[in-house]
């Protein structure tokens, strides 16, 4: 599965900005608003986002790679879509806070 770091490294400027914005939604606990993001959590939440998009799909062995690739592309699309929205919250963080 692709990592957030790989998305940043392989992406164009819009994707890089979206990755940085997603990272900024994951500050260290107690850190100020301008603190470095907690990239470990951002990476985990990006992976969880891909897994959530894949959902309960049970692809055939031959279709597993294609299913993962589609989910990765949708997750990247999500990052691009919310990047232009100020103060959006990571859906994984929201889900965990509600449980």
pLDDT at residue 66, rounded to an integer: 85
In this structure, are residues 79 and 22 in contact, taking their beta carbons and an 8 Å threshold? yes
**pLDDT at residue 56 is higher than 80:** no
For tokens 């994951």, name the residue: 26
DSSP string for the chain: ---HHHHHHHS-HHHHHHHHHHHHTSBPTT--TTSPB-HHHHHHHHHHHHHHHHTT----GGGHHHHHHHHHHHHHHHHHHHHTSTT---HHHHHHHH-
The structure's pTM equals 0.86
């Amino acid at each position: 599965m692709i990592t957030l770091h790989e998305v940043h490294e392989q992406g164009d400027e819009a994707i890089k900005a979206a990755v940085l914005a997603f990272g900024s939604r994951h500050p260290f606990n107690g850190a100020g608003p301008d603190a470095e993001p907690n990239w470990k959590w951002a990476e985990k939440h990006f992976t969880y986002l891909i897994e959530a998009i894949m959902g309960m799909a049970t692809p055939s062995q031959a279709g597993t790679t294609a299913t993962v690739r589609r989910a990765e592309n949708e997750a990247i699309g999500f990052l691009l879509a919310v990047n232009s929205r100020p103060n959006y919250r990571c859906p994984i963080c929201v889900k965990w806070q509600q449980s």
